[in-house]
Structure 1
Amino acid sequence: MLKKINTNLFCINCNEETEHIILYLDDEIKSIECKKCHRISGIDKNELLELYTIDTVKHILTEPFKLNKKIKEEGSTFLYSFPKRIFSKPYRIVKDIFNILEN
């Protein structure tokens, strides 16, 4: 899952502490960008998008097994949350892709 975090770090280019955006993909740092000088450290967008795509495809392929397990464990209770999950998942994936392309 893609996660974006804002934090203050020391920028070598600016030679001072500035606000940075850290982009994580599955708990691994993929890029760090200084908001002041826009210097980016990390992998390029195409490589990040490729990694995200591979991870997403793996996740989609395992989803039916996870859903089956949830249905068996929770029964009818799970079915009430199921429609919400169907609509929110594509939105979250598109949002993650736009976040990758934005940086």
Structure 2
Amino acid sequence: MEFQELQTELYCIKCEENEMHVLTYLNQRLYKARCEGCGHELFISPDPRKVLYDEFLQRIVTKPERISRELKENPRRIVTLPYRVISKPYRMYKEMQGLRQFIAQGKSRNGSKIS
């Protein structure tokens, strides 16, 4: 899960003025915009949990194909394969913890809820 924040000047519907906004991207998709002037947050993604789980599932399903392609392109990568196979469950567990924390964080916001 990758967060990226950018600042830009946009028109705020609450302030009714051009103000600096922080745009938050989640996995290269616009997730929310927050006005620096009044703090108003606008959540863009209707269901970020579904988007994240769909991306996660897609990565799991396509993993064998990606490994095969990687080994065809560079056969020497087979040396790192045992380590990657052993460490993958732990890396997936850590990523799922991050997803759960993100969802729990959204549920604790007042007024704005991630469904």
Normalising by the smaller structure, the TM-score range is 0.5 to 0.7
| Distance apart, 1:63 and its partner CA | 0.9
The answer to whether the Cα contact below 8 Å between 2:22 and 2:33 also exists between their aligned partners in 1 is: yes
Q: Partners in 1 of 2:44 and 2:7 — Cα distance?
A: 16
Task: Please give the secondary structure, in 1, of the residue aligned with 2:66.
Answer: helix
Cα RMSD for the two superposed structures = 3.1
The size of the alignment, in residue pairs, is: 100
The structure that is helix-richer by fraction is 1
Q: Partners in 2 of 1:64 and 1:90 — Cα distance?
A: 19
Bigger Rg over Cα: 2
Gaps of at least 5 residues in structure 1 are none
Q: TM-score, normalised by structure 1?
A: 0.64
| Distance apart, 1:33 and its partner CA | 2.3
Percent pairwise identity? 11
Task: Please give the secondary structure, in 2, of the residue aligned with 1:37.
Answer: coil
* Residue aligning to 1:37: 39
Q: TM-score, normalised by structure 2?
A: 0.59
Residues 4/100 of structure 1: CA separation in 2 closer, same or farther (3 Å cut): farther
| Distance apart, 1:99 and its partner CA | 4.5
Q: Which amino acid aligns with 2:48?
A: L
